[in-house]
Amino acid sequence: MARILVIDDVPAFTALLRMTLETRDHHVEEANDGLSGLSLLERESFDLAIVDMMMPGLDGVELIRRLRARDAPHAPAVIAMSGGTDDFPAAFSLTLSAMHGADRVLYKPFDTSELTAAVDELLAARAA
């Protein structure tokens, strides 16, 4: 069973991702802002973090940059996700996140099969 942290500022969305991943026998925790998510990542061990790029306060780009700057030997794999706005298009935020260390990127809205395929691939790579 993998430990996954979902970080998004929309609680209903994190709950949906939690339910999807828990049906696949993963242990899922949630954080609804970047600072809380980073704090959990610093205190606990996770196999994977799913991070929204656009959050108030500490956004996903900065969260991933800080996580990767620590260069922890057991840092989790990271899936970055974004829906974008007129001021901050999804493609730009996801390009930034990939440059700072995201392993995969997903554009919202995405199908749960896209999410589970990315999760399965990254967890398999960690196990290898």
Domain boundaries, the chain: 2-127
Q: How confident is the model at residue 84 (pLDDT cuts 50, 70, 90)?
A: low
Dump the DSSP string for the chain: --EEEEE-S-HHHHHHHHHHHHTTT-EEEEESSHHHHHHHHHHS--SEEEEES--SSS-HHHHHHHHHHTT-TTPPEEEEEE---SSS-HHHHHHHHHHTT-SEEEESS--HHHHHHHHHHHHHHHH-
Q: What is the pLDDT of residues 37-51, one digit of tens each?
A: 999 998 999 999 999
> Model pTM?
0.89
Q: Which homologous superfamily does the CATH classification assign to the domain defined by 2-127? A: Response regulator (3.40.50.2300)
**pLDDT recorded at residue 72:** 65
